[in-house]
Amino acid sequence: MLDPGADAPAFTLENQHGEPVSLGGTDAAYTIVYFYPRADTPGCTTEACSFRDEWDAFEDAGVRVLGISDDPVSDLADFAADYDLPFDLLSDPDGEVASAYDSYGEKEMFGNVFDGVFRNTYVVDGEGTVVLAYEGVSPEDHGAEILEDVAALDD
């Protein structure tokens, strides 16, 4: 897990529209970089919808949201369309970016061991520094939780 104060690893990945999206190069006060295991699964859908449901507040606060998984772009496009997700979902097919954020590795499910994405979230400031980090997050109301924590950063 990257700790607050660490430099956020730079990246450029394709979004659900096949367009390149980078961490930097934006006027956002903060960028949320959240990693999730699989598009259109119950927990990942709950988490994505928690960001969607707080979207107006994120925009008002100048906060950008980037969701990253190892899903292919086509799966991300369907996921975003099915749930009306207004933010970028990024495809990290080899888990390279997730690995750089300590959010990819060996997992076990139903007795099977495999490599996959961990449910972690980072908030990065405009200078590219990690200011908040969440490990193994609960997907329910995660968007509201982060919104409150980001507001507290500016108090």
- pLDDT(106) > 90: no
| pTM for this model (two decimals) | 0.95
Instruction: For residue 12, give the nearest of 92, 105, 99 by alpha carbon.
Output: 92
pLDDT of residue 25: 81
pLDDT tier at 42, thresholds 50, 70, 90: very high
Q: Among 44, 68, 90, 97, which one carries the catalytic annotation?
A: 44
CATH 3.40.30.10 describes domain 12-153 = yes
Based on the residue annotation, tell me whether 49 is a catalytic residue of this protein: no
Is there a contact between 2 and 124 (Cβ–Cβ < 8 Å)?
Answer: no
Domain boundaries, the chain: 12-153
